[in-house]
Amino acid sequence: EAQVTQNPRYLITVTGKKLTVTCSQNMNHEYMSWYRQDPGLGLRQIYYSMNVEVTDKGDVPEGYKVSRKEKRNFPLILESPSPNQTSLYFCASRKRVETSYEQYFGPGTRLTVT
Amino acid sequence: KQEVTQIPAALSVPEGENLVLNCSFTDSAIYNLQWFRQDPGKGLTSLLLIQSSQREQTSGRLNASLDKSSGRSTLYIAASQPGDSATYLCAVLTGANSKLTFGKGITLSVRP
């Protein structure tokens, strides 16, 4: 089944303890991205990657890192999580559709930082 | 900077009603517009994708229209059902980096 998977789905951690949220897609998509969703603020892009070894900042990159060593995986790294990073996180990939793109989203990771 | 607005933020209707959800965007130079459904605490499910050259797309009881020049899209839901209760998000793809910008969504409640 074509899909975007994320792990873990739920995570409770403490301030300052490094964590990684994994994202993988099996559709051979070149473009992948990370979003966070917060009440009243909607979905905001954190980082995106146009292809392997090519990453760039989105709207809210502070406090996050990413890497793209292989096409299928795009992990999100929080080196020193803080409570303001408590949020619902989505990984996405996209495929080419005629002259534009269609986005596919993972199931989400609910992160709580205490 | 692209901005996407969805008003109202919440809507409650009785079962069986036909309804329209609105989405507006400020920059008409879009590649496409996509409507998503999100159930509480869940991921986003793509409902319809309208290319910039298209006027509408249909899937079952859903019909989405796009008026790029006026910066508007509507999602029409026919014969609404309680199972349609969810948050509906629209998102537009714009810019050199093909960035997806989301509205904040409309939370729909269909009363039995």
Q: Give pLDDT, residue A2.
A: 81
Of A33, A90, A100, the CB nearest to B32: A100
Residue B97 has pLDDT above 80, yes or no: no
- Tens of pLDDT, residues A43-69: 999 999 999 999 999 999 999 999 999
Q: Give pLDDT, residue B96.
A: 66
Average pLDDT over residues A13-24: 97
Q: Give pLDDT, residue A98.
A: 77
Q: Give pLDDT, residue B94.
A: 87
Confidence of residue A19 (pLDDT cuts 50, 70, 90): very high
CB contact under 8 A, A99 and B53: yes
**Paired tokens of A67:** 């890497």
CB contact under 8 A, B44 and A41: no
Question: How much of chain A exceeds pLDDT 70, in percent?
Answer: 100
Confidence of residue B99 (pLDDT cuts 50, 70, 90): confident
- Tens of pLDDT, residues B35-91: 999 998 888 999 999 999 999 999 999 999 999 999 999 999 999 999 999 999 999
Measured between alpha carbons, how far is residue B2 from residues A58, A93, B29, B74, B101 in Å?
14, 21, 9, 18, 7
CB contact under 8 A, B41 and A110: yes
Q: Give pLDDT, residue B8.
A: 93
B105 in reach of chain A (CB within 8 A): yes
Rg (CA), chain A: 14
CA-closest candidate to residue B58, choices A18, A6, B66: B66
B1 in reach of chain A (CB within 8 A): no
Q: What angle do CA B6, B10, B16 make, to 5 degrees?
A: 105
Q: What is the mean pLDDT of chain A?
A: 94
Residue of A nearest to B6 (CA): A42
Average pLDDT over residues A67-82: 97
Q: Give pLDDT, residue B6.
A: 97
3-state class of B101 per DSSP?
strand
CB contact under 8 A, A58 and B103: no
Q: Give pLDDT, residue A38.
A: 94
The Cα B25–Cα A67 span in angstroms is 32
CB contact under 8 A, A31 and B34: no
